[in-house]
């Protein structure tokens, strides 16, 4: 196997050098790519029609970390884990952080949940009832405290707030209430912390969503200050939206805080990233790597400062393999984007040579980066095929003792 | 109040006569309009993020019938109730039917549920596992038996079957398995029974849905025979789809079996019918009433033979008022469609007069039919404003004793 | 006829007073509503498949003004006409302005055209070629000069700029070039002038559009200053977009500059406004009138300062009747929105009463405002039915002498 | 170069054998893949905003054939050319056919055009005016005669027929008129001819399109008989539509007649095939190759009998390179689909192993087939890189003498 890889890699190396690619640089970038997995991605989730319960899902936040540790161990790329409060509420958060450390992990983004308490049925920070707004803001502030306890530097905000009917809520008042809550929370942040503001086209609000698109999240971040940025969930756009355009725009403004990666064909389907339209993911990475080449790149533009997070709903899939597949798909598309010869693209663009410019980007996508990924994994002492390694590891059998009915979101 | 209505109705009558409308005929048609409410519309439902539990939701199928009886009593338009098996499973269906009768109701469509059992996670009648296919088909046949027991003549079929990923399932095999199950079920129908086949663009299948559009449901119905027809759920189409065109097409083929009415702005939002784009509902009724005027209307084309059913998910609304609003909105749009002067439309169409033809349809939509609806309700001894009557009836307070945590779907 | 209207109006008045509507205020607001028609709406236009040439379309900008004068004469609501340069290029713009005055009109917005010169095939102000960018910016500046000559205070900017393929253009460079051109143009504005920035989801750019959504236009306007605002074309959004939400947002930020009204079911269909989903238009006006009630309304929020402009493509319709229909449809929906009892809406919203709040808005939509419109028209000495008056006026026959092959866009 | 290819191919061969792929079979299938180019793809086209005229576009049908011959000469895959009547109307069609033969080509599908004559503004075969319907049908019959003269066996039917407004046309009457025209045309076909019926979601009809989706085209084909089949244009669907599902459905029914290939992100953008979402194209070929493996494949299911046609609008691209890119992109995705190990897919599907089944399909997509395509091209004596060969051929310079203003559609 290793021999076969060597031959493949030698050819790959020869071809990419011929194409003008600096493989040393590409390798370094690939090694720098860290992907955060979400604690809730290891639990049961589903559709409104049914949550199918699986054997072996974690029963508490500690077991979620154990599963996340498997993914990191096999890929070397997932050292942090996002948590969701109260789904991951524990009595002593320092213990959770310590347990993470003991597994070679850290706690990543903290995600407040202001949509499942009965009070939030008609809105949390945008509710017409001031008491509910206060309660919701208090939870946001509580999450900032949790950040301090677990050593997190990202507050990841998604609001389910919205309305189902014309007239149901006062759109502009709700906008202002939202701003008040964000401001109060922003002021509570420590200097090392960032607040990432997520937007969503629709669901669970079916008439209007208070933060409906990147423009609203971006304006909020602008008003708040440098510690506020936008979080792009790849499934939260209208059909046909050019997501990489939004990414490029936010990069140019220094306001791209991070991603929630997943795939969708219709609405917010939350499928495994890279399974529906992998070219889109590649094109997103193209924009990021292009911005990374700026002579004086805005600090926040660098890939190293963008939070690459997975946010999926594994309704029918085994959780850990689904997460491994997601991580590998991201690595694959990122590696392909690293094969872009940006000089060639820029030259064709400068000449207004439509076909040559398009080809210069697409030809990188058509490169098979498997030998590259294999080589980089081997160098790190990681399994070449993390999925195979996991399936043969016996871990699935081991966690079966957890039984059915573990955590869910 | 009544006096004010009289004046309004007198003016309305004068205006419509001037427009060439036969109000006697319109009144008769309006009285003929019967709308079926679904038992599950009285229980709790929600989104994948949360089901908010309400006080007073029915605790069993009998209490659902009691709530449905309220809606019928106040509107005179909802004599039948659709049931969902196993949500409405009871030991003795004849008792359920008797209880309906005692409340002035009948059981309408029977809806099998082959999507919530764990076995159905990857498909029911299209599952790769033959045992699961058999189990699902057996449930369909069981529902035909239930139909006999409760005196229902409509089997309403929706399959959640689909896949989430390219390659996950074998699309053509699944198509054939679906056909086998439908055929076996069709053969079990009594001569008086109809099978209505529903289609859906997506959800919970996020890559492909086995019955994804009207074309697939229509072809299935054609292959099965005259007792099979298509069920149009107004929320089950891609964005931009011209639903009234599909309705007209099916009418012309004698294959429009009925509707699941609701509203949507984005996906299958299942909002109260008539709240998002009421003109679309009016245009659907225009097609139905146009077909109704055919010299030799195909029997199934007549509005009387189309099953007008509501299928909504009341996630944030009080259930009974939401249902009343739905019924009233349907009546309003139907009454407006009854104000179309079809001869005027046809003449403008024949002359290729685009603006006149468009205006002839739209001008009926702009008629305020409140006086007409009030008059017809009064003649039947019904409250002019069913919503107000309900809110003042004390029924909500009465059912509060049921507490929280009743039925849900 | 008039007698019949009197009776209808008396009843209408009685009903609306009972609903708590101040008809005097409503009448005033309706009279204040001015709608700008576009010179190009009187010429031939079509789809990429075919432009069907019509008899009688204007042969030059002066004849376009004559047609526009007809619309204003019959409706009293359309005193200004938007022009498009170079479609309306004339040697002496002061003569054009004088001719407008002689017809009872004024020149409204000036619309530069930087998309039909061969140089602009791959972009105008965002072209990779600096010479083309300069040429395009020069045209924008030329249009500011035209504004001075014709007495216009609105520069209405739509850029067709975009790309068709991934990699074709450098998205962020183009963003910066666009900003440069806008800045240079902004600085040339006189203090009384506004620059309205239009955005568009797609077409003619099929991969990316440089100004793709309201967020990009809004941010540009924010960067430029108070004389820059956003122009909302009702057809320029992704399917499912909540346009009234965007309108409310921009109102709240004092950045809603105006509208390009038209209708669409699919893409940017440019149909007669109010023919596809009239409820959406009503809901837009609801947001505007709600903002208008603010205690200290931001000056720009008032309806009087929002430019209500029509932008349609009459591919199959007779031009002047199509424009009349558009104006009348806007008036109808605006009048319906004037029937909203805002206090009732606000009270229901404050109580989180979903159904009551929805009903309070929708019930205004269901009001038949024909008697109201008739009364207001009569008071102004205008025909009650402008369409009928036009068709009977003989104007169509008169302009037939212009022959076929007049102006087109 | 060739040496480098040898090494790459040797590795490719080794890898694919290890994956269980029969490369001999794959090579044979790839050689069998013939792609028809459209005569109109060599002329100027554009958007409704502008058609940019290019130097060197063909001035008549004969020059279009010359350009098409270039594409065939360089790819060996495009022996037939579709024609459009009257765009390609000539006095003597036998001369056109002979000229094609002299260039190594044949005339492929004949495409009637019933949308550009002024009479067809409001419909051709569905026009309310019987004389226009007759005229349109006569043109269809004329095209059957042309087929006989040029030796074509495919009549490719696309109707622009539709309406822009509710009420404008009588949907069901138009449906019946369409059926009459199709029937009359079908009866005129010789036994060796096929009629392919195309559908389209919208444009230029913006309210309703008479043949709006595959279901309508499919039902028409079913009613007509075995010589009628459906033509799938990859750009003619609502956003989110699963095109490969439709393809699989039609294959299963023996009614997939052919494709019009192109790409789209939004509407019917008519971009170069394979540039927006190449995975979708791969998945379409997966369905075709899967059906091809049926034990007793329905004759029409075989790829050999599906008409693979390109239908694009090259608005900004040089025409011949755009066509070459299209052909090469189709070959690339087809070659990738040939790398699917169907047995592996089927086994995973049978076990309901979601992740393994998905991976078995996707892993073929990730194969770099460049060495395979190079080898097959070399074996045929074709240039390994047809695009490079064309750009170096001097043909572009040669046809510059044609000047600007050649054919357009």
The residue of chain A with its CA nearest to that of D367 is A368
* Residues on chain C touching A176 (C-beta within 8 angstroms): 252
Q: Rounded CA gap, B261 and B278, in Å?
A: 12
Contact A269 B206 (CB under 8 A): yes
Alpha carbon dihedral A294, A300, A305, A307, in 10-degree steps, equals -120
Output the CA–CA distances (angstroms, integers) from residue B190 to B36, B88, B153, B187, in the order listed.
22, 22, 9, 8
Q: What integer pLDDT is reported at residue B2 of this predicted model?
A: 58
Which of B8, B14, B355 is the closest to C317 by Cβ?
A: B355
Interior angle at CA B39, CA B34 and CA B43, nearest 5 = 135
Q: Rounded CA gap, D339 and A368, in Å?
A: 14
* Residues on chain D touching A19 (C-beta within 8 angstroms): none
Tell me the average pLDDT across C172-188: 98
CA proximity to D337, closest of D318, D362, D316: D362
* Residues on chain A touching C349 (C-beta within 8 angstroms): 128, 167-170
State the distance between the two ends of chain D, measured CA to CA, in whole angstroms: 41
Q: Which residues of B have a CB under 8 Å from any CB of C?
A: 4, 7-8, 11, 14-15, 239-240, 242, 265-266, 272, 275-280, 316-318, 321-322, 325, 332, 354-355, 358-359, 362, 365-368, 370, 387
* Residues on chain B touching D168 (C-beta within 8 angstroms): 349, 354, 357-358
Contact B166 A275 (CB under 8 A): yes
Interface residue of B3, B202, B240 to substitute, partner C, most C CBs within 10 Å: B240
Which of A279, A317, A322 is the closest to D279 by Cβ?
A: A279
Q: What is the pLDDT of residues C115-141, one digit of tens each?
A: 999 999 999 999 999 999 999 999 999
Contacting subunits of D (3+ beta carbon pairs below 8 A): A, B, C
Output the CA–CA distances (angstroms, integers) from residue C64 to C38, C99, C301, D31, in the order listed.
9, 11, 31, 60
* Residues on chain C touching B354 (C-beta within 8 angstroms): 316-317
Which of B169, B201, B209 is the closest to D349 by Cβ?
A: B169
- Give yes or no for a contact between A36 and A109, defined as CB atoms under 8 angstroms apart: yes
Contacting subunits of A (3+ beta carbon pairs below 8 A): B, C, D
Q: Rounded CA gap, D344 and D18, in Å?
A: 13
State the distance between the two ends of chain C, measured CA to CA, in whole angstroms: 41
Name the 3-class secondary structure at B138.
Answer: helix
Contact A317 D362 (CB under 8 A): no
Q: Closest Cα of chain C to A50: distance in Å?
A: 26
Q: What integer pLDDT is reported at residue D62 of this predicted model?
A: 98
The residue of chain C with its CA nearest to that of A170 is C349
- Give yes or no for a contact between A322 and A312, defined as CB atoms under 8 angstroms apart: yes
Contact D240 A242 (CB under 8 A): no
Q: Closest Cα of chain D to A367: distance in Å?
A: 6
* Residues on chain D touching B167 (C-beta within 8 angstroms): 286, 345, 348-349, 357-362
Report CA torsion sign: C340, C343, C349, C355: negative
Ranges of residues in chain D with a pLDDT under 70 are 1-4, 295-304
* Residues on chain D touching C239 (C-beta within 8 angstroms): 239
Contacting subunits of C (3+ beta carbon pairs below 8 A): A, B, D
Helix (H) or strand (E) holding B260: strand B256-261
Contact C275 B366 (CB under 8 A): no
Q: What are phi and psi of A212, to 5 degrees?
A: -90, -25
Q: What integer pLDDT is reported at residue D301 of this predicted model?
A: 41
Tell me the average pLDDT across C220-226: 97
Confidence class for position B354, pLDDT limits 50, 70, 90: very high
Which of D14, D275, D359 is the closest to A358 by Cβ?
A: D275
C67: pLDDT strictly greater than 70 = yes
Q: Which residues of B have a CB under 8 Å from any CB of A?
A: 45-50, 52-53, 115-116, 118, 121-122, 160, 164-166, 201-204, 206-207, 239, 264-267, 269, 271-272, 275-276, 313, 315-317
* Residues on chain A touching C252 (C-beta within 8 angstroms): 172, 175-176
Q: Closest Cα of chain D to A264: distance in Å?
A: 9
Q: Rounded CA gap, A83 and A68, in Å?
A: 11
Q: Which residues sit opposite C228 in a β-bridge? A: C195
Tell me: cis bond preceding A120? Omega within 30 of 0 counts.
no
Q: What integer pLDDT is reported at residue B5 of this predicted model?
A: 81
The tokens 């419109």 sit on which residue? C373
Which of C45, C47, C239 is the closest to D203 by Cβ?
A: C47
B299: pLDDT strictly greater than 70 = no
Which of B165, B166, B349 is the closest to D169 by Cβ?
A: B349
Q: Rounded CA gap, D343 and D365, in Å?
A: 16
- D181 Cβ contact partners less than 8 Å away, ≥ 6 residues apart: D125, D133, D136, D137, D140
C206: pLDDT strictly greater than 50 = yes
* Residues on chain C touching A164 (C-beta within 8 angstroms): 354
Confidence class for position C407, pLDDT limits 50, 70, 90: confident
C255: pLDDT strictly greater than 70 = yes
- In order, the DSSP letters of A227-279 are TEEEEEETT-S-TT--HHHHHHHHHHTT-EEEEEE-B-SSSS--BPTTSS-HH
Q: Rounded CA gap, A341 and A336, in Å?
A: 11
Name the 3-class secondary structure at A366.
Answer: coil
Give the CATH architecture of domain C33-338: Alpha-Beta Barrel (3.20)
Q: Is the pTM of this model over 0.80?
A: yes
Contact B53 A267 (CB under 8 A): no
The residue of chain D with its CA nearest to that of A354 is D317
Q: What is the pLDDT of residues B87-115, one digit of tens each?
A: 999 999 999 999 999 999 999 999 999 99
Contact B11 C11 (CB under 8 A): yes
Contact C245 A208 (CB under 8 A): yes
Q: Rounded CA gap, A44 and A59, in Å?
A: 10
Helix (H) or strand (E) holding B371: helix B370-379
* Residues on chain B touching C318 (C-beta within 8 angstroms): 355
* Residues on chain C touching D53 (C-beta within 8 angstroms): 118
* Residues on chain C touching A354 (C-beta within 8 angstroms): 122, 164-165, 168
Contact B265 C332 (CB under 8 A): no
Q: Closest Cα of chain B to C15: distance in Å?
A: 9
* Residues on chain C touching D312 (C-beta within 8 angstroms): none
Q: Rounded CA gap, A170 and A175, in Å?
A: 9
C303: pLDDT strictly greater than 60 = no
Q: Rounded CA gap, A233 and A209, in Å?
A: 15
Q: Rounded CA gap, B16 and B18, in Å?
A: 5
Structural tokens at position C170: 């450098």
Which of C11, C242, C322 is the closest to B8 by Cβ?
A: C11
Confidence class for position B407, pLDDT limits 50, 70, 90: confident
Q: Rounded CA gap, B161 and B178, in Å?
A: 9
- The pLDDT profile of chain A, 409 residues, written as one tens digit per residue, is 456 688 999 999 999 999 999 999 999 999 999 999 999 999 999 999 999 999 999 999 999 999 999 999 999 999 999 999 999 999 999 999 999 999 999 999 999 999 999 999 999 999 999 999 999 999 999 999 999 999 999 999 999 999 999 999 999 999 999 999 999 999 999 999 999 999 999 999 999 999 999 999 999 999 999 999 999 999 999 999 999 999 999 999 999 999 999 999 999 999 999 999 999 999 999 999 999 998 655 544 444 589 999 999 999 999 999 999 999 999 999 999 999 999 999 999 999 999 999 999 999 999 999 999 999 999 999 999 999 999 999 999 999 999 998 877 7
Output the CA–CA distances (angstroms, integers) from residue A17 to A26, A29, A373, B69, D21, in the order listed.
12, 17, 16, 77, 29
* Residues on chain C touching A169 (C-beta within 8 angstroms): 349, 357
Interface residue of D355, D360, D373 to substitute, partner A, most A CBs within 10 Å: D355
Q: What integer pLDDT is reported at residue C408 of this predicted model?
A: 74
* C-alpha Rg value of chain B to the nearest Å: 22
Interface residue of D44, D48, D159, D311 to substitute, partner C, most C CBs within 10 Å: D48
- Give yes or no for a contact between B214 and B245, defined as CB atoms under 8 angstroms apart: no
- Give yes or no for a contact between A43 and A319, defined as CB atoms under 8 angstroms apart: yes
Output the CA–CA distances (angstroms, integers) from residue D149 to A10, C131, D81, in the order listed.
57, 52, 15
Contact B354 D219 (CB under 8 A): no
- Give yes or no for a contact between B9 and B372, defined as CB atoms under 8 angstroms apart: yes
D360-389 burial string, b = 16+ CB within 10 Å, else e?
Answer: bbbbbbbbbbbbbbbbbbeeeebbbbbbeb
CA proximity to C32, closest of C96, C95, C77: C77
Q: Closest Cα of chain D to B242: distance in Å?
A: 7
- D182 Cβ contact partners less than 8 Å away, ≥ 6 residues apart: D125, D157, D195, D197, D220, D224, D228
Q: What integer pLDDT is reported at residue A1 of this predicted model?
A: 45
Q: Percent of chain C scored above 70 by pLDDT?
A: 96
């Amino acid at each position: 196997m290793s021999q076969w890889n060597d031959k493949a890699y030698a050819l790959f190396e020869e071809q990419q050098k011929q194409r003008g690619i600096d493989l040393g640089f590409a390798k370094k970038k690939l090694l720098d790519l860290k992907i955060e997995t979400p604690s809730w991605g290891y639990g049961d989730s589903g559709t409104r029609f049914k949550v199918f319960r699986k054997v072996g899902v974690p029963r508490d936040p500690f077991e979620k970390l154990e599963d996340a540790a498997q993914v990191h161990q096999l890929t070397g790329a997932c050292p942090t884990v996002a948590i969701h409060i109260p789904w991951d509420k524990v009595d002593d958060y320092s213990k959770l952080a310590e347990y993470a450390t003991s597994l070679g992990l850290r706690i990543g983004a903290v995600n407040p949940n202001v949509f499942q308490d009965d009070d939030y049925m008609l809105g949390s920070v945008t509710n017409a009832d001031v008491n509910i707004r206060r309660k919701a803001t208090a939870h946001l502030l509580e999450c900032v405290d949790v950040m301090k306890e677990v050593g997190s530097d990202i507050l990841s905000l998604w609001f389910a707030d919205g309305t189902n009917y014309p007239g149901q809520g006062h759109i502009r008042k709700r906008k202002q209430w939202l701003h008040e809550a964000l401001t109060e929370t922003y002021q509570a942040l420590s200097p090392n912390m960032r607040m990432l503001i997520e937007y969503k086209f629709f669901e669970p609000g079916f008439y209007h969503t208070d933060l409906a698109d990147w423009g609203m999240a971006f304006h909020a971040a602008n008003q708040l200050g440098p510690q506020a940025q936008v979080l792009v969930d790849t499934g939260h756009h209208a059909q046909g939206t050019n997501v990489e355009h939004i990414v490029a725009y936010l990069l140019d403004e220094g306001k791209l805080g991070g991603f929630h990666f997943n795939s969708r064909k219709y609405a917010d389907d939350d499928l495994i990233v890279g399974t529906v339209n992998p070219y889109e993911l590649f094109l997103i990475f193209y924009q990021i790597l292009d911005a990374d080449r700026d002579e004086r790149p805005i600090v926040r533009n660098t890939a190293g400062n963008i939070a690459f997070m997975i946010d999926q709903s594994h309704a029918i899939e085994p959780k850990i393999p689904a997460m491994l597949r997601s991580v590998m798909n991201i690595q694959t598309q990122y590696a392909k984007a690293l094969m872009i010869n940006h000089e060639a693209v820029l030259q064709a663009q400068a000449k207004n040579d439509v076909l040559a410019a398009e080809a210069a980007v697409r030809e990188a996508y058509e490169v098979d980066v498997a030998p590259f990924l294999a080589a980089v994994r081997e160098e790190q002492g990681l399994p070449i095929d993390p999925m195979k390694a996991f399936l043969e590891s016996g871990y699935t059998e081991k966690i079966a003792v957890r039984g059915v009915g573990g955590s869910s979101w």
